[in-house]
Amino acid sequence: AQSVTQPDIHITVSEGASLELRCNYSYGATPYLFWYVQSPGQGLQLLLKYFSGDTLVQGIKGFEAEFKRSQSSFNLRKPSVHWSDAAEYFCAVGARGNTPLVFGKGTRLSVIA
């Protein structure tokens, strides 16, 4: 069965510190992987995606993620967190074409001064 696991429900980091959000997936075919961010009461904004090629992908707002097939992981990283990064982050997996995405349960990021 297709599934996405985000082990951390809530993470708190200091502003300026580095960040890594974990994501593990289970998918029968070649996965297409995504990270979305959601601010309270808002929709989802795509941060980055991996389809193929270079396993280190760069996204918006200074985020990057690395696809590791051997570990079935797609962890999201940012070298220096800003207070405006506080939000809910969702990892998702899907296939190419008209197929829906399967989402993890999300990780809530809090940023403290």
Partner 1 sequence: GAVVSQHPSRVICKSGTSVKIECRSLDFQATTMFWYRQFPKKSLMLMATSNEGSKATYEQGVEKDKFLINHASLTLSTLTVTSAHPEDSSFYICSARDLSSGSTDTQYFGPGTRLTVL
30 is a site residue for partner 1 (CB under 8 A): no
- Tracing tokens 């349960």 back to the chain, one arrives at 105
User: Is 103 near partner 1 (CB under 8 A)?
Assistant: yes
Interface of this chain with partner 1, residues 70 to 99, rule: CB under 8 A: 90, 94, 96-98
Q: Which is nearer to partner 1, 70 or 98 (CB)?
A: 98
CA neighbours closer than 13 Å in the CB half-sphere of residue 27: 25
Q: Which is nearer to partner 1, 16 or 61 (CB)?
A: 61
Min CB(70)–partner 1 separation in Å: 25
The nearest distance, CB 102 to partner 1, in angstroms, is 8
Ranges assigned E (strand) in the chain: 3-5, 10-14, 19-21, 24-26, 32-38, 44-50, 56-58, 64-68, 73-78, 87-94, 102-103, 107-112
Q: Residue 22, interface with partner 1 (CB under 8 A)?
A: no
Asked whether the beta carbons of 68 and 77 are under 8 A apart, the reply is: no
Could you say whether residue 53 binds partner 1 (CB under 8 A)? no
